[in-house]
Amino acid sequence: MRHLSRNSLIALIINLVLAVGSARAQVQFQHIVIIDQENRTPDNLFGSNPTFEPGVDIQTYGVNSKGQIVPFTSGPLAGCYDLGHSHLSFQKAYNNGAMDGSDKVTVKPSSGCVTGPNPQFRYVDNSTGTIQPYFDLATQYGFANRMFQTNQGASFPSHLFILSGTSAPTTDSTLFAAENPTGVSTGCSSAPGTVVEMIAPNGTYSKMYPCFDHATLIDLLEGANVTWRYYAANSKTILTAPNAISSICQAQEVDGKLTCTGSEWANVILKPAQVLTDIKNCNLANVAWVTPTGQNSDHPLGNTGGGPAWVASIVNAIGNSNCGYWQNTAILITWDDWGGWYDHVPPYQIGQPNGWGASYVYGFRVPLMVVSAYTPTGYVSVNDHDFGSFLRFIETNFGLGLIGPGYYADSYADDLEEFFVPCTPRIFSTIPARYGAEHFVNNTEPDTAPDND
């Protein structure tokens, strides 16, 4: 018998457990929390310690358009420049599958910033433990080697895919919102004249107002009386996906400006730290999307290094809850797009065989960590996942069926069940972090919206 590595043995055990009986054993959760940070890849975020866990796939060098090997150098989590992460930037970096065009991705420094050579080829410095909570979460719970953003572009369409499995304007449209809207606002309460670029299956572009009418996971949740909340820093930010769905954001003019209203919009909480208060008060919704403030976003511009502690504070609040949340909650931690950083793993496929997503699916890797009382310590997944996997997991857990016409991202995705083994719940151990929940709940500084790109 050939020797099995620890992770291979864990995967084998999980598959055996899931295969027992006529139906697959499945952990049922009462709560699922999606924590969505900004603009990182696995190589970039975890490159300071590329062998932190057996089986992880992290590389600390890249290849540029001249065929040269470019070793990564370190950079701070809170930097002074941004990188292009539009669909055009994806096409440059991907280079028809060669994965050697990252050096052609636009560099956007702030005033006085000195980027140094090869700014696209960096890993986040952890010499002072800034991002250690991420390493601790990955090693203590589940880490995905092959988690990809569904879309090939920036944050606005990314968050729509996380909410609904598509960025199409209507149910049957073959178009996708491909970029971020123009201006400082977005969604159905955008200022007149705001537009977003749409991409067709043949790659041609058009423009339209960024207010869409298609099914989302929220429709399924509402129909099944499953509660939900969406936490965001601002009603008009590109991270606040419900603002672009006309059935959720029923725009009305208030004091001369368009404003989202409606019964469903009441579940959009415009203060991210409220999630910590809701957990403490035993008021956690069945499904919660949690987006950050700019200070805690991990976006290279505008963040102040609080992201790892922010994420840890939510996990710790659930893990140490007096409401029983640790035993019945699954936490999915991801990043909305690759941010322009080099990553060595190409998308696992481009589009679906039936043509869905031909010009815009799938994108580059983003990190994914899965945390629960039923997730094996140090489990590393080698299977393909994307944002549709979050939706499929929630649909499977609550018995909801699929979103829309059956050809959105959830239709093709796995359900993440490999991360959960029916067993006696693990005892929670607090994740050390720079700040605790009190820092975020009691913060008197104004929340900034995440960078709008």
Residues in Cβ contact with 245 at an 8 Å cutoff, skipping those fewer than 6 apart: 163, 164, 188, 212, 213, 214, 216, 218
Spans of all domains in the chain: 25-165+214-441
**Beta strand pairing status for 368-371 and 329-335?**
antiparallel
pTM, to two decimals: 0.94
Q: Residue 24: its pLDDT value, please? A: 55
At 135-180, the pLDDT tens digits run 999 999 999 999 999 999 999 999 999 999 999 999 999 999 999 9
Q: Residue 21: its pLDDT value, please? A: 34
CA dihedral (380, 384, 390, 392) positive or negative: negative
> What is the CB neighbour count within 10 angstroms for residue 104?
15
* Residue 302, CA distances (Å) to 191, 268, 294, 450 in order: 24, 23, 6, 7
**Beta strand pairing status for 287-290 and 31-37?**
parallel
Q: Residue 72: its pLDDT value, please? A: 98
The pLDDT confidence band at residue 16, using thresholds 50, 70 and 90, is very low
SS3 assignment, position 267: helix
**Buried b or exposed e, range 213-229, using 16+ CB within 10 angstroms:** ebbbbbbbbbeeebebb
SS3 assignment, position 151: strand
Q: Which is more confident, 65 or 2?
A: 65
Mean pLDDT in residue range 420-425: 96
At 366-414, the pLDDT tens digits run 999 999 999 999 999 999 999 999 999 999 999 999 998 899 999 999 9
Determine whether 43 is exposed, middle or buried from the number of CB atoms within 10 Å of its CB (0-12, 13-18, 19+).
Answer: buried
The closest alpha carbon to 424, from 374, 381, 350, 388, belongs to 374
What is the average pLDDT value for the chain, to the nearest integer?
93
Mean pLDDT in residue range 307-311: 98
CATH number 3.40.720.10 given to 25-165+214-441: yes
Q: Residue 445: its pLDDT value, please? A: 81
> What is the CB neighbour count within 10 angstroms for residue 103?
20
Q: Residue 447: its pLDDT value, please? A: 81
Q: Which residues pair with 207 in a beta bridge?
A: 197
Token pair of 22, please?
């006529």
> Tokens 């092959």 map to which residue?
146
Q: Which is more confident, 179 or 256?
A: 179
